[in-house]
Structure 1
């Protein structure tokens, strides 16, 4: 299967964001066409505007059926949803139109993957407020995917070099996140992480499981969740055959994870995992007052289809200026390719 070139569906994200720009820039990376067949899902007029705005020589090939995609470098295929009114369109602004367009692109890429017309999906950044103003009440991409694939057990896995982080909970309040630290859920995400590491080709399957409280509770001095929920989950995971360590105080676990000591780690809540992850992959240039690079891939584990994503937001403040880095989008596409190849081998 070394010559297998999966079809990768890439959503434009919020059209008012950097999403369309990074999608086009990624598809102007010639080496990607050597290993996959990419197609953008969105509004072709938005992408025609992008290439004109930045003086690119790329030629947009608008299609309404995957079968019509040509997959030619320099001529990005765009599955045209015709859902953005360019006379009303403005970069960097929250709007129901932009939110609706981004939501429809996600819904369509899921449909294409579920129908087997594409092999994997990659999502550009969306604005949750715009999506909600359009009448679609979801906390984010992960929840949209879970809903339209009817998936009950899923988790967010972040990937950047040595740092691979899965979360027990994500888009909930911190107060609610503490209540969600339960033995069964920790075992569930540990299994999802183990399977994810294998599918990504990771050889080191040692997993670190973070404590919730300072010093992992310090034998109950700073909370009981570590002893009552996390430790029993670690012990059960070992009985199930997983190579796990924990609960490890989070302030030391992530420093070890960044060196490759762990193949992956389990974070108890959103910011516990995202902050060290973004310190690894996001590089801010204080002189230019902008990011030099924004690296990191978000993979939704547990779905019947493959979904990877950039792990950054819409960056409305630089949308339309031509300075957005496509690094994370390229990495997300490369991860989708790897996962597609692993899944294709599994089916043989």
Structure 2
């Protein structure tokens, strides 16, 4: 994290960081103080929270479906956010209310959480939620969203097309204090519930009937998992766009290293997700400086080879429960 605060298009010496953080900025360090507090610090803090929340949500989703190769996007939150943000980007030039980064963030959050509600509503019947129907509904919402986004891409002009592409590949460049602070409760909520969720997911991994016998209110618990995932991922995607790999692979990597117990899987997923996101953003800012790569390219490029290596090395040890 200290390296991420120091390194960038404008370098800040490591020994300056403590003084700048407590507001000790003399004349020759004024620019460094502005860069640290206005740009670097909110970006790094948001990256830590977002990476942790995405990985945590991935672990929750995999526990809900009892499948280690699913991610939060399968319940519709990412596709709904992408669709709403795409509308805001393309229509922003004709509707002044939508022509701002804040409006795009609000649209993405509402779209992501709205899609999550829709998927949950479709999959519910007689007060019960079937996880297979939940998965299929999410896939259907994903396909429909991609079709509409494709139409918006077709009618977008060059500037809008670039904005759409960059947003869908993800970036932390929009993580200002004003945009980050409203998301903090949603991004921290998963971590604050880790203890309760870990025990419940361990029970759910045995099967819904067994979990019920162990005292878990299965339907309420599944509902809480879906909406917790939707709120945390929706808040993150609203600011950063869609960032691939973190929610899918990080929980799987942690499971390979620590085992399937969700009481350790959830907090360690948050920790590893934060580390990988911080590293990926640092690389995105520096590889082609002063330009910036979309962070989704970095996360996929970093994670996929390491993921394949771990699978090859530990394929005889892969366990789910």
Shorter-chain-normalised TM-score: which range?
A: under 0.3
Greater fraction strand: 1
Greater fraction helix: 2
| TM value normalised by structure 2 | 0.27
RCO comparison, higher one (Cα < 8 Å, 6+)? 2
